[in-house]
Amino acid sequence: MTRSLRPRPGRSAFTVLLVADPPPPHRRPGAESPAGRHEAIVALARAVFAEGGQLVVPADADIALVVGTVALDYAAPPVAERRVETGPSHLTVMEGGGFERATRVLLAPLAVRGALRYLDAEGAEVRLDLSEVEAEQPGLEEVRRHRVTSRMVEVTHPTVAVLLSPQRPAMQDVTVLRDFQVEVLVFHDSVLEADLEPELRDTEDPTQRLMRQAPGERWSRPRGPDDVRPVPPYPYLMQRLVAEWTGRDG
């Protein structure tokens, strides 16, 4: 049975748009592993949901299934068990490139349990139900990766966007977000394509700034050229970011 973790009441409203591309076949030397990427996604989702924030992801079953499973812990209990009216789901999945049947089929069980709401490319809510579920579920290779669109930003009003493991098409997402003056953060350790690093250098990576605030932390000490970079403590980093976004860092 799934345990429901209710968000803390009385927190400031905020919305985070997550852009997370799948790992490429060949990673750049020194890049973090897919396990690190997964930890970052889950840590961001838990930090946002715990404070009552909203998380938005483009229609991508690979990412939405992971985040939706986390959101299930924070979803409202079944109607028969509710004592008060509940708000909307903390996770929004929105199509950015037209109708995506495979994603709808894969996410229907989570939508039915209140873990997410699903929007089409125009921002209209799509009611997914178990009639979407098929005896033979589609594979993730059948799902297209949807990009961030102007309409997505207009509908969801993100406070900030976080990029994890971005691939080259994510630069289109960055352009759209900057056009709407949405703050964009990129965890550079998660950038797996070597030739993409230079193009993202002017985009803030909050890792060093946040880790320098931890007394005695090895991230605050200078490293030699041969030193192995420690794995970012994503749960800590995401909690600190959410504290900033909600004004609790002061």
- Residue whose tokens read 């997550």: 18
**Helices (H), ranges, 79-119:** 101-112
CATH number of the domain that 41 lies in?
3.40.50
Measured N-to-C along each axis, helices 61-72 and 101-112 cross at an angle, to the nearest 10 degrees, of: 0
pLDDT of residue 217: 55
**pLDDT band at 82; cut points 50, 70, 90:** very low
Question: What is the per-residue pLDDT across 150-191, written as a single tens digit (0 to 9) for each?
Answer: 999 999 999 999 999 999 999 999 999 999 999 999 998 888
Distance CA(161)–CA(118), nearest Å, equals 19
Give the pLDDT mean for 191-209.
Answer: 88
Residue 75 lies in a domain: yes
**pLDDT band at 138; cut points 50, 70, 90:** low
Residue 27 lies in a domain: no
pLDDT of residue 136: 62
- For 144, the token pair is 């297209």
Lowest mean pLDDT among 29-38, 117-126, 162-171, 213-222: 213-222
144 versus 156: which is more confidently predicted? 156
**pLDDT band at 80; cut points 50, 70, 90:** very low
Give the pLDDT mean for 99-112.
Answer: 89
Residue 2 lies in a domain: no
Q: What is the DSSP letter of 230?
A: P
Residue 54 lies in a domain: yes
Q: Taking 90 as the threshold, does the pLDDT of residue 197 lie above it? A: no
**How many angstroms separate the Cα of 142 from the Cα of each of 40, 110, 137, 147, 188?**
25, 19, 10, 16, 29
Residue 141 lies in a domain: yes
**pLDDT band at 65; cut points 50, 70, 90:** very high
Instruction: Compute the C-alpha angle 7/190/5, nearest 5°.
Output: 15
Q: Which residues, 6+ apart, have CB-to-CB distance to 85 below 8 Å?
A: none
pLDDT of residue 146: 92
Residue 63 lies in a domain: yes
Distance CA(185)–CA(4), nearest Å, equals 30
How many domains is the chain partitioned into structurally? 1
Residue 197 lies in a domain: yes
What's the mean pLDDT when you consider all of the chain?
Answer: 84
Question: By residue range, what is the domain housing residue 97?
Answer: 15-21+33-239
Among 187, 186, 10, 13, CA closest to 90: 13
* Pairing between β-strand 117-119 and β-strand 91-94 as defined by DSSP bridges: parallel
Residue 178 lies in a domain: yes
